[in-house]
């Protein structure tokens, strides 16, 4: 069965600190896609990144970076020099066939 | 381009009432999905569709029906509302199996 685990329910850090959100997934497929979404306090769901199972290169976008490791079935998300605007719930998701399954999310508080 | 639209934004029902949550997209996406979001549970897949005339069950389909008569519309029906269906409902669409999803703004449903 496919599964996405975000073990960190809630994290609080002080502004400008770096923070890593963990995502561990389970799948028997060799071809799959992983995603991260952000849900700010306003409630909308914002797409951040998609990664396919054949591309293990790390990706950086500004202060955001993602580390994909097939050997440990992990797709972790790091925010460098966090800002108050990064406060949100972050979801990791896994695509298999026609479905996209989400983890339970990590609520991130950035304290000023 | 309105993207994914959902109506209503808020709804209060009494136990046993029926209603339909509307979802429409104007991006000609084949794939559409319905999720519910409950505190601590993340986003759980209710039903999904891979094209007009094709629907399938997700993780939590009980108590909900869907149909997909056109590419644009994917309504979610609650035949006999129960308090356990109090939740925030999100509709999403994507062009194909490997793509990221675009989400609507959500419908907050309360069942008394």
pLDDT in tens, B23-56: 999 999 999 999 999 988 899 999 999 999 999 9
Residue contact B106–A104, C-beta within 8 A = no
pLDDT tens profile B59-69:
999 999 999 99
Q: Which of A52, A101, A99 is nearest to B32 (CA)?
A: A99
What 3-state DSSP class applies to B85?
helix
> What whole-number distance in Å separates Cα of residue A79 and Cα of residue A38?
12
Task: Give the nearest partner residue to B42 out of A33, A47, A105, using CB atoms.
Answer: A105
pLDDT value, residue A57: 84
- Which of B34, B106, B43 has the alpha carbon at shortest distance from A94? B43
**What average pLDDT does range A12-33 have in this prediction?**
95
Kindly state whether B19 is in contact with chain A, defined as any CB-CB distance less than 8 angstroms: no
pLDDT at A97 over 90: no
3-state SS, residue B1: coil
Nearest-by-CA chain A residue for B106: A44
Looking from the CA of B44 toward its CB, the CA atoms found within 13 Å total: 14
In chain B, count H helices and then E strands: 0, 11
pLDDT at B2: 84
**Cβ <8 Å between B43 and A52:** no
Closest CA to B37 of A109, A6, A9, A102: A102
Q: B66-73 long-range contacts, Cβ below 8 Å, gap at least 24?
A: B66/B34, B68/B32, B71/B28, B71/B29, B71/B30, B72/B24, B72/B25, B72/B26, B73/B22, B73/B23, B73/B24
Cβ–Cβ pairs < 8 A, chains A and B: 53
Cβ pair A104:B40 closer than 8 A: yes
* Residue B96 touches chain A, beta carbons under 8 Å: no
Q: Is the pLDDT of residue A21 over 90?
A: yes
Mutation target for B interface from A45, A50, A89: give the one with most B CBs within 10 A.
A45
B42 Rama class: left (phi>0) / alpha (psi -120 to 50) / beta: left
DSSP code at position B73 = B
Q: What is the mean pLDDT of residues B83-89?
A: 97
Contact A9 B100 (CB under 8 A): no
The alpha carbon of residue A48 is apart from the nearest alpha carbon of chain B, in Å, by: 9
pLDDT at residue B97 greater than cutoff 90:
no
Tokens of A33: 């896609």
Q: Is the model's pLDDT at A8 over the cut of 70?
A: yes
As a whole-number percent, the residues of chain B with pLDDT over 90 amount to 93
Burial group, residue B88, by CB count within 10 angstroms (0-12, 13-18, 19+) = middle
Q: What is the mean pLDDT of chain B?
A: 96
pLDDT > 80? residue A1: no
Q: CA–CA separation, B31 vs B60, rounded Å?
A: 18
Determine the pLDDT at residue B63.
96
Is there a contact between A98 and B106 if contact means CB atoms under 8 Å apart? Answer: no
User: Whose CA is closest to A91, among A78, A79, A101, A105?
Assistant: A105
Indicate left, alpha or beta for A82 from its phi (over 0: left) and psi (-120 to 50: alpha).
beta
Distance CA A90, CA A23 (A): 10
Q: Which one of A100, A104, A105, A106 makes the best mutation probe of the B interface by having the most chain B beta carbons within 10 Å?
A: A100
Mutation site for B-interface testing, chosen from A99, A105, A106, A107 by largest number of B Cβ within 10 Å: A99
pLDDT at A96 over 80: no
A75 Cβ under 8 Å from any chain B Cβ? no
């Amino acid at each position: 069965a496919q599964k996405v685990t975000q073990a960190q329910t809630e994290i609080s850090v002080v502004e400008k600190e770096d923070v890593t959100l963990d995502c561990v997934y389970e799948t028997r497929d060799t071809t799959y896609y992983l995603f991260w979404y952000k849900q700010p306090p306003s409630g909308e769901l914002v797409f951040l990144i998609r990664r396919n199972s054949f591309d293990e290169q790390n990706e950086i976008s500004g202060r955001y970076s993602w580390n994909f490791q097939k050997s440990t079935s992990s797709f972790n998300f790091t925010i460098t020099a966090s800002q108050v605007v990064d406060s949100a719930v972050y979801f990791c998701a896994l695509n298999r066939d026609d479905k996209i399954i989400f983890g339970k999310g990590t609520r991130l508080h950035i304290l000023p | 381009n309105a993207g994914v639209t959902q109506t209503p934004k808020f709804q209060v029902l009494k136990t046993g009432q029926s209603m339909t949550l509307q979802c429409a997209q104007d991006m000609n996406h084949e794939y559409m999905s319905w999720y519910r979001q409950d505190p601590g549970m993340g986003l759980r897949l209710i039903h999904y569709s891979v094209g007009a005339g094709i629907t399938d069950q997700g993780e939590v389909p009980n108590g909900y029906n869907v149909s997909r008569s056109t590419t644009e519309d994917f309504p979610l029906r609650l035949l006999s509302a129960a308090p356990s269906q109090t939740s925030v409902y999100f509709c999403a669409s994507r062009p194909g199996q490997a793509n990221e999803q675009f989400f609507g703004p959500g419908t907050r449903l309360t069942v008394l």
